A = this chain, B = another copy of it.
Amino acid sequence: MSCSEEYTPQLRARGYRMTPQRHAILHVLCHSGIHLSPTQVYQQAVKELPDITETTVYRTLEFLAENGLAYPAHMGSGHLGYQIARNDHHHLVCRNCGKEMEVDHALVKSMYQKLESASGYKLTDSHVTFFGLCSNCK
């Protein structure tokens, strides 16, 4: 259940600490497959840990993203949502109805390689949001 436990060693290994706040936030992310906005995370987390602040939620989400424990993803509005990091995948979201689906990284991999050789960049983020129209809306 408490899937956040498994992250403790990952943090410790890098010199970071597992705190009640990080625990609560990881817990929230783990138990919600989908992307959550910082405000949504806060609203969930505050139930477990009444003293947590919005500031901490913002900072922790950014921290988790930097350390690869959470994926940040662009939501329609241009704001960021966060999701626990599991398998490499991307998102397709419908501009019309908002319907979201995951796409395996395998589909995108060859294009990444093409981009890398054309540009000289090394592509690090395998969690991109593409926008379009879903089968119902198009």
Contact = CB atoms under 8 A, between A and B. Distances in A.
Interface of A: 72, 74, 78-80, 92, 94-95, 101, 103, 107-108, 110-111, 114-116, 118-125, 128, 130-135, 138
A101 B119 contact: yes
A135 B114 CA distance: 15
A133 B128 contact: no
Given A107-B115, A114-B107, A118-B103, A123 B128 contact: no
A124 B108 contact: no
A133 B111 contact: no
Contacts of A132: 116, 121-125
A130 B103 contact: no
A125 B114 CA distance: 20
Given A108-B111, A124-B132, A125-B130, 19 more contacts: A72-B78, A74-B74, A74-B78, A78-B79, A92-B119, A94-B121, A107-B114, A107-B115, A108-B115, A115-B130, A116-B132, A120-B134, A121-B133, A121-B134, A122-B132, A122-B133, A124-B133, A125-B131, A128-B128
